Every structure is written in C-alpha cells, then in structure tokens.
Amino acid sequence: MQVLRPESEAEAAALIAEAAANNRTLSIEGGGSKRHLGRLTTPSAVLKLDALREIVSYEPEELVITVRAGTPLAEVEAALAERNQCFGFEPASWSFEPAAAAATIGGTIAAGAAGSRRVVLGGARDHLIGFRAVNGAGEIFKAGGKVVKNVTGYDLPKLAAGSFGTLFTMTELTLRTYPRAATSLTLAVENLDVDSGCALMRRAVGSRFEATGFCYLPRVAIERLGLRQASSLTLIRFEGDAESTDARAHACGETLAVPFATVQHDDTWRLVQQLKSLQASQVLWRLSVPPTAAVGAIAALRPECFVVDWAGGLLWVEPGSASPRDVHAVARQFGGHATLFRGSDDLRRGDVFQPLDAVTAALTKRLKAAFDPHGVLNPGRMYDGV
Amino acid sequence: MPEPKADVFARRSALVEALARLVPEGVVADQDALAAYDCDALTAYRQKPLAVVLPTTADEVSAVLALCHREKVRVVPRGAGTSLSGGALPLSDGILLGLSRMSRIKEIDLENRCAVVEPGVTNLAITKAVEGQGFYYAPDPSSQIACSIGGNVAENSGGIHCLKYGLTTNNLLGVELALMTGERIRIGGKAMEAGGLDLLGLVTGSEGLLGVVTEVTVRLLPKPEVALASLVGFPSIETAGQCVSAIISAGIIPAAMEIMDRFTIDAVESYCAPGYPRDAAAILILEVDGIAGDVSRLLTLVEGIARKVGATSFVTSTDERERQRIWLGRKAAFAASGRIAPDMLCMDGTIPRRELPRVLSRIGEMSKDCGLPVANVFHAGDGNLHPLIMFDVMKEGDLDKAEKLGADILKLCVEAGGVLTGEHGVGIEKRDLMPLMFAEGDLAQQERVKCAFDPDALLNPGKVFPSLSACVEGGAMHVHQGRIPFPNLPRL
Ligand SMILES: Cc1cc2nc3c(=O)[nH]c(=O)nc-3n(C[C@H](O)[C@H](O)[C@H](O)COP(=O)(O)OP(=O)(O)OC[C@H]3O[C@@H](n4cnc5c(N)ncnc54)[C@H](O)[C@@H]3O)c2cc1C
C-alpha cells in the first residue's frame, strides 16, 4: 500500500486535503505498533507520521512537555527520566511478539493506552492538555493549551485521546508530566481465589495508603510468565521514596490482614503492561467494568486466561468460546464495555468496540462529520460510518 | 447576545401554559419573581428570562427541552447561579432551566468508590454524605456550599486541591445528558472508562452549550490519614513564587499551594483575623496529605526548600483546628476583599509559573496606571491567577475601567504563554477575548462541535464563542456572521 510520510504539519495538511479532494481514505499511523487495534479497514493509503519527530519544548518545573506526534514514546520517556519525571498515566506498550514497531506518542494517546497507574492518576485523556492537528478537510487547528489548568473552550484533548485517529490527525501534543518515583515496592499475596483477590484490591484502593497499582493474575497467567509457583497472585504496588513505600506497604498489608511478601521493583507490572501472559491469545478482549462486577464478568465469560488490573476495573480476557456478541452482552450486563484487542480479520470486520445505543451512535456520526466531513481519516476504524 | 426572536415573545403566554402542563408547580413567570434569576455571580450583567422552569425529574427536563426544540425556543441551563463568567445569564427570549430542585443523592457505592447524584446536589453535600465512612469528593471550589455538581460539570470547576487531585473532569465516571431534542444518553457509568469517543470529557466544561446534565456519577477518594497546612511568610511575592517552583522541581506535589499578597493579607486580617504574619509581603499556604510519616518528612523537606529561597517564617498546623484556621483567611479572601470596595471583578487566567514575577509586577503597574486596586490571591501550584479588581459601579466610568483592566490582564496571561481561564469558564465575560487565544479556524472547529449537538443553536447561545455561527446540515460546515475582532469590543 502507498505510504505517505509528511515531513511537516503543513505537508500533512496538504496530503489530507488532497485525499479529501480525491475521495481517498487514509489510515493514520505513528509507528504502526497498534495496527492490530480497531476494526479492519481498507484505506487508499497510509499516512505515516513518524517523520514528525521532535521534542519541541520541555519544562520540568512547569510539569509540561510539547512533542511532535511521531516522536517515539521511548524517546520521550527517556527525556523525562533524565529530569526525574515520567507520564502519570504509565503509557502501556501493549506489544505483541514478534516485537512490533516502536510506539509513538501520538499513537499512544490516540489509542488511550494507559497502564496500571490509571486507577489513581487517570488515563491518557487526563494527561493530554493541548494539541495541534489537521482535520479531515486538511485544515490545521489547535485546541487546549500549554498550562496544566485550563478550561478555555471545549476540552478537545479529551476527545482526542482514545479516538483512534478517526476525527483528526494530531501533529503536536502537549502533555502533563509527573515526578518519577525513586522506587516501587509491591505487596504480593498468593493463592487467593479471584473473588477474594478482587475484594482485597478493592479494600486496598479504598484505603489511605496511596497505592498506584492493583492487579490479579490467575495460575494460567503466572505459568505463562514463568513466574513462581502459586495458584494466583494479587499485587498491590506502592511508589515513592524507600522510606515511604516501605511504611505504606507494610501498613497496608497489616490493615488487609493477609499473609504477604514485599518485592522491590517487581517486574511483573511491566509484563502486565506488555500483555506478556496473553501473547498466545488468538482472541483477546479488554473489558472496562465497575470493580465489583469483575468477578461476575469473568465467571460469565469462562476464559482460558485473564488478567485483572485497576483493582477490578480492567479485565484482559482470552475467552473460551464466547462470540463478540456474547462478550459485548456480558460487558453491558455488568455495566461496562468491551473492546476486541486481538482477533482474526473476520472478527475485526464486525463489532470491535462496544455497540452504541441509537442516539449516541447518531451523535458520534455527527461529531465525526464535524471534524472529518468527507470520511478521510481512519473511516470505520471504530464504528461503521465513523 | 443573539438577536431576540420577536415571535417567541408573541407566544409567551402559550409557552408558559405549555411548560406548566409539563412541570406543574415548577414554572416562574411573574415579573417580580423573575428578578431573582436575572444574573449569576457576574452581577454586572443582568437580564430577566422569558420564564423559569424548575423541573424535579430527568423526564421533566427532557419534556421541557423537547417542547423548546419543537417551538425553537432558546434554553439557558442554571444550577446554583454561582458562575463568575456569566454562563447562566438568561436570555430575554429564552427559558431559564433551573436544576436546583433535582437535588437527590441517588446512590452511594463505596465498594466502587462512587456516588450517583442529581445535578442540583451541592458540591459539599456529596462529601458530607460520605465523610462519615472516610471518603470525600476531591474538587473543592470555594463556592462548594452553594454551587451544584451539574454546574461543576458544566464549568469543569477546580478548587484548591486540584494540583494533586485534578479538576472536575478528572473526578467523574459518568453523566446522563439530555440533548436539546430531549433525548437522553448515558455516558460512562461506574466503570473507569466509558466506551466510544470520550463524550464525557467533551461535555465536561462545555458550559451548558452541548446538553443538560441530569445525573452525575462522581469518583470518591479515601480521606487521607493526615492533612497538615503550613503558613509560610516571604519578603516578596516573587520569592513565594520561586518557592513553589522549587518544591515542584524537587518532585513534590503538595495537595495545595496558594499564594496571597500583602493587600489580601491586610484585607483578611481585618475581616476574620486568621493570624497571618504581619511582616510578610506575601504568604504561601501549602497543604501536605498522606500517611503521618510521609507528611512529616515532606514538610521537613518543604521547610528546607522554603528557608533556602528566603522564607521569613514557617508555621505548620499541629491539629485540625489550626489547619482550619490557616485556611480560614484564604477561604475568606473573596469576601474580605469585597469589603474594601463596593464591587469586584475576579479574573482567572493561568500562566506558566516561571512567568509569575513578570506578570505580577506588570499587573501592579497596570493597576497603578488606571487607579483601581488589584488584590492577588491565587492557586500558585498550577499558575492559576485570580487578580481581584476593586471598583465602584456607581462611580462614573469605573466599570469600564475595571473591564478594560481585566481584559488587559488576561491578554497579558495569554502573551505569557497562558490561557484566558483556568477554572471559571468563558461564559459571556471572556467570550470576546477568545480570538486572543484561538485563531479563526480553531474557533470554527469548536463551533462545528456545537453544531453536532445543537444545530439550531438553542442551548445557551451567545456564550463562549464571539460569533454566532449558523450550522449547515450535518454540522459539517459553518458560516460566520461578522466575527468581531477583539480591539473594537472590550466587552469584558
Ligand atoms: C464566591 C465564589 C467562589 C468561587 N470559587 C470557585 C473556585 O474555587 N473554583 C472554581 O472553579 N469556581 C469557583 N467559583 C465559580 C462557580 O462556583 C463554579 O463555576 C460552579 O461550578 C458553578 O456552579 P453553579 O451550580 O452555580 O452553576 P451556574 O452558575 O448555575 O451555571 C454555570 C454554568 O453551567 C451551566 N449549567 C449549570 N447546571 C447545568 C446542568 N445541569 N447541565 C448543563 N449545564 C449546566 C450553566 O448554563 C452555566 O453556563 C466561585 C464562585 C463564587 C461566587
């Protein structure tokens, strides 16, 4: 397929305007690491943004960084680390083997790829504070600002995060940064059934110890990771300086009144982010549900393997025989939504994202038209006609 | 404001009757009674609405909107009317839709750390309902006893604790939204993420232009074990600002950091005597929360930083009573300043913190030049300034001078790399200043979003955007009707 690689924002705008004028459609791509996400589409060409690669400005004291959309995430994170900072939402790399191309910052935000820390510090949406973009008519516009507190005009950055490139093509992003913790200490509890594991995480997240990660791995997941012998692992993570994490982890463990061990710099969090225990999954679903619904949703789906994150709010599920319709029905029944994360081309032609009710679907289409009237940008990637 | 529709005035009594059928006991049409609704907290602008409707259920809200949609009648939503930007200013030919009677807390679900409430519930009532069990709702605007959660969603309100805990938008899980047609949609719920496009994020802070919030699901947080406040005195406002930057550079994000200048200190001392240092040119109030050990270690670090940049005093609360006392003066700053002059304009720009010294001294010069005193009290951690301009409406020319000064201050904020509003919203107050921050194309894109929700421009028109745009079918295009360039129209 033809790959267009603009070297500047103006060039990107010209290419999109040209596509709009010629009734062509574009697949918007950063590094291409999330190509497997979303519905299968048949664009006329790929608009690849990896040449827009630059850290435009970085002011650690202001907790703000501005980068071009195609800058590799790793490069941005390295720059932050140099000044003892990071992204609060813990960008998730969600990589599938063989190692895919490097994720860019634009793609990471457009996919709303937040990790375990999302449960306390918010998602990609909460950390994007401004951007520049090209809409589907090829017009350049900006939204938001470059300061952390701003309510001037509609909060389009929220809309950008998780829109999978279907509304506009971001060319420059301004993000909020966060102090990087000196260390992390994980409180590990073994052998709880999923019900008790989730209940424990809910108690921990509602406690005063400011943990920044809550995940549960059943035996299958542990075995696939080649970790220790246990029928399950419930992990609660504390970040900060050594004295603080130590005090909080132990006080939390004692409050929860369960036998626990503590692990310094537990690598399991990285493995969870990278979906390492789910690499073999031919079909993988991601469900966002109210924490108390986690156990019910898992039981209803009878998965081969699953991982619970966000204290029960996020489920990664490799379903046995459940069809997309079943998974979406379960997600709805339990008050959440489900997204197909990995699946055959055939599955990806159907509903990948949770189907919308009629009024919301119509509104979503009107919003699409407000940004991309000719349907040039990633048409159909989220929903048919969007 | 948009040209009133003459035909709507002609149909007024029929409309009032139709509304009364939909919301029995909930329609105010008497001219004297309407006066109570003629403004929000931006009192310089007043306008009586055609009628006020006070529904008690979401179905009634839908019915009123559907009627107005059919009849092409404009609607202005209103919560508690504490907006400082004129967002709830009525239209002469429009219905004022008051949500204050929808004030039930529907559900408290501590296992999922959330509460489901009607839009008229006050901000503070949510915390009051859950604090017994050790939880609270984090965003805490100073108006929290009065302002409604629906208004908070519409304005994306902040508070002194949003440095660490975020604005309203970072603390919501879901809303039910009535569109102008009366149709209602649920966006999100008790799950951490809603499916589809992030409509929740878009609607939050949309100032009542996109839909009427009929239910809100807020995220609750466990109350920290300990919260201590420190009162730090500085020889100048610049050093106070440097201290804030130094704390953040050290990787510390306190729960709150507020700066107050000499003028404000004097005002609050004579108002409620919180015991602020009389010799300091500026004070920084900071709060640190967490578990006890962390709090005391952080405070030691912070004190070291403060002394190093030149703090002249550093006092930390030892109990809850002292903490409240330290905050007392900050919370009373608005009321205390209000005693000094008959009228006040509260500005709300945000700037990058490094620009603080330059911007503050420039504001001082501008204040001298025009002869109106300005008090500075602000959310220092995130650079959100609240210059309070003192004036007297009864004095010939004072209001114009105050508005001009306000506009100049906001212009300065934007030039310094900041924004027009950090938490109070654009409303009508900053509407005509929008072109300072956004190019025509940027605004046109935002207005097309409005068209996608409300193509007939019936919902709170005339707010936020300097021009009224006509939507073309499908929301795809729009036509400008004489955009007014800023310099000719110092509306603020
Ligand atoms: C003394 C004082 C102190 C303040 N301190 C702060 C502060 O610290 N931080 C801060 O951020 N703000 C502050 N404010 C501003 C104000 O309180 C907030 O903007 C508040 O959120 C407004 O809520 P309200 O219920 O009064 O809304 P209103 O003033 O009634 O309305 C505000 C806007 O929201 C819309 N609206 C209201 N309800 C709904 C609904 N249900 N659905 C859709 N749209 C709706 C209205 O149309 C209007 O545009 C302060 C105000 C005062 C007077």
What are the phi and psi torsion angles at A215 (to 5°)?
-135, 160
Averaged confidence pLDDT in chain B: 93
| Interchain CB distance below 8 Å, A62 and B352 | yes
Give chain B's end-to-end CA distance (angstroms, integer). Answer: 13
Q: What is the CATH number of the domain that holds A326?
A: 3.30.70.100
Q: What is the pLDDT along chain A (386 residues), one digit of tens a residue?
A: 899 999 999 999 999 999 999 999 999 999 999 998 999 999 999 999 999 999 999 999 999 999 999 999 999 999 999 999 999 999 998 877 666 678 999 999 999 999 999 999 999 999 999 999 999 999 999 999 999 999 999 999 999 999 999 999 999 999 999 999 999 999 999 999 999 999 999 999 999 999 999 999 999 999 999 987 899 999 999 999 999 999 999 999 999 999 999 999 999 999 999 999 998 888 999 999 999 999 999 999 999 999 999 999 999 999 888 999 999 999 999 999 999 999 999 999 999 999 999 999 999 999 999 999 999 999 999 999 99
Residues A151 and A199 in one domain: no
Ligand 1 proximal residues by C-beta, below 6 Å: B 40-41, 76-84, 87-88, 99, 119, 141-143, 147-148, 150-152, 154-155, 157-159, 207-208, 212-213, 334, 423-424, 460
Q: Smallest CA–CA separation between A224 and chain B, in Å? A: 28
Q: Where residue A259 sits, what CATH number does that domain have? A: 3.30.70.2190
pLDDT (tens digit, 9 = 90+) per residue, B385-395? 999 999 999 99
DSSP B345: E
What is the extent of the structural domain holding A306? 281-348
Q: What is the ipTM of this complex?
A: 0.97
Does residue B432 register a pLDDT over 50?
A: yes
Cβ neighbours of residue B220 closer than 8 Å, sequence gap 6 or more? B110, B113, B114, B115, B126, B130, B135, B136, B137
Helix (H) or strand (E) holding B448: helix B440-453
Q: Give me the residue spans of the domains in chain B.
A: 105-222, 226-335, 341-429
**Could you tell me if A79 and A162 lie in one domain?**
yes
pLDDT score recorded for residue A196: 98
Is A353 inside a domain boundary? no
| R_g (Cα) of chain A, nearest Å | 21
Does A375 contact chain B (CB < 8 Å)? no
Q: What is the tens place of the pLDDT at every residue in B92-122?
A: 999 999 999 999 999 999 999 999 999 999 9
Q: Is residue A13 part of a domain?
A: no
CA A371 to each of CA A42, A376, A386, B213: distance values in angstroms, whole numbers, following the listed order: 20, 10, 11, 24
pTM, full prediction: 0.96
Percent of chain B surpassing pLDDT 90: 91
Phi-psi region of A94 (alpha: psi -120 to 50; beta: other; left: phi over 0): left
The reply to whether A241 falls in a domain is: yes
Of the CATH numbers 3.40.50.720, 3.40.50.1980, 3.40.47.10, 3.30.70.2740, which one belongs to the domain with range B341-429? Answer: 3.30.70.2740
- B84, B91, B144, best to mutate for ligand 1 pocket (most atoms within 8 Å of CB): B84
- The beta strand positions in B220-337, using DSSP E, are 221-222, 226-234, 256-261, 282-290, 313-316
Spatial distance between the Cα atoms of A328 and A306, rounded to a whole number of angstroms: 16
A301 membership: H or E segment, kind and range:
helix A294-301
Q: Are A354 and A338 in contact (CB under 8 A)?
A: yes
Calpha distance A291→A14 (Å, rounded): 46
**Residue A238 in contact with residue A212, Cβ under 8 Å?**
yes
Q: Give the torsion sign (CA, A38, A371, A169, A3).
A: positive
Please tell me the predicted confidence (pLDDT) of residue A280: 83
Q: Which residue is listed with tokens 């990633």?
A: A378
Is the domain of A213 the same as that of A171? Answer: no
Q: Of the candidates A129, A152, A179, which is a domain's last residue?
A: A179
How many domains are there within chain A? 3
Give me the amino acid identity at B126: I
Domain final position from A247, A273, A299: A273
Return d(Cα B60, Cα B439) in angstroms, integer. 39
Mean pLDDT along residues B171-189: 98
**How large a percentage of chain A has pLDDT more than 90?**
93
Are A174 and A221 members of one domain? no
Whether residue A9 lies inside any domain: the answer is no
Q: Is the pLDDT of residue B485 over 90?
A: no
Give the model's confidence band at B473: pLDDT under 50 very low, under 70 low, under 90 confident, else very high. low
Statement to judge: residues A93 and A138 lie in one domain: yes
Contacts with B, A 335-364, CB within 8 Å: 335-339, 353-354, 356-357, 359-360, 363-364
Is residue B484's pLDDT more than 70? no
Burial tier of B20 (Cβ tally within 10 Å: 0-12, 13-18, 19+): middle
Instruction: Tell me how far apart the alpha carbons of residues B471 and B477 are, in angstroms, rounded to a whole number.
Output: 7
Query: To probe the interface with A, which of B113, B160, B192 has the most A CB atoms within 10 Å?
Result: B192
CA torsion sign for B209, B213, B217, B222 is positive
CA contacts within 13 A on the Cβ side of B456? 16
Residue B478, pLDDT above cutoff 60 = no
pLDDT per residue over B18-56, tens digit each? 999 999 999 999 999 999 999 999 998 999 999 999 999
- Contact at 8 Å (CB) between B204 and A156? no
For domain B105-222, give the CATH number. Answer: 3.30.465.10
- How does strand B184-188 pair with strand B387-391? unpaired
- Does any domain span residue A12? no
Residues B201, A167: contact at Cβ < 8 Å? no
* Assigned domain for A31 exists: no
Q: What is the pLDDT of residue A98?
A: 66
Class of domain B226-335: alpha beta
* Neighbouring-strand partners of residue A326: none
Are residues A194 and A167 located together in one domain of the fold? Answer: no
Q: Do domains B105-222 and B226-335 have the same CATH topology?
A: no
Pair (A159, A239) in one structural domain = no
Residue B482 has pLDDT above 60, yes or no: no
Give the pairing type, strands B172-178 and B184-188: antiparallel
From the DSSP assignment, how many helices (H) and strands (E) are in chain A?
Answer: 13, 18
Task: For residues B176-181, give the mean pLDDT.
Answer: 98
Q: Is residue A337 part of a domain?
A: yes
Average pLDDT for B409-417: 97
Which residues of A140-182 form beta strands (DSSP E)? 140-144, 168-176, 178-179
Handedness of CA A319, A325, A330, A335 (dihedral sign): positive
Q: Two tokens at B215? A: 């239910």
Dist. CA B396–CA B375, nearest whole Å: 22
Among the partner residues A152, A158, A210, nearest to B437 by beta-carbon distance:
A152
Name the β-bridge partners of B212. B178
Q: Give the pair of three-digit tokens for residue A193.
A: 């059934």
Residue B486 in this model has a pLDDT that exceeds 50: no
Q: CA–CA separation, B98 vs B473, rounded Å? A: 30
Top-confidence residue, B421 or A279: B421
pLDDT in tens, A246-264: 999 999 999 999 999 999 9
Amino acid found at B328: L
User: End-to-end CA distance of chain A, in Å?
Assistant: 22
Q: What mean pLDDT do residues B200-225 have?
A: 98
Using the mean position of ligand 1's atoms as its centre, give its distance from the Cα of residue B140 in Å: 12
Measured in whole angstroms, how far is the alpha carbon of residue B115 from the centre of its chain?
Answer: 21
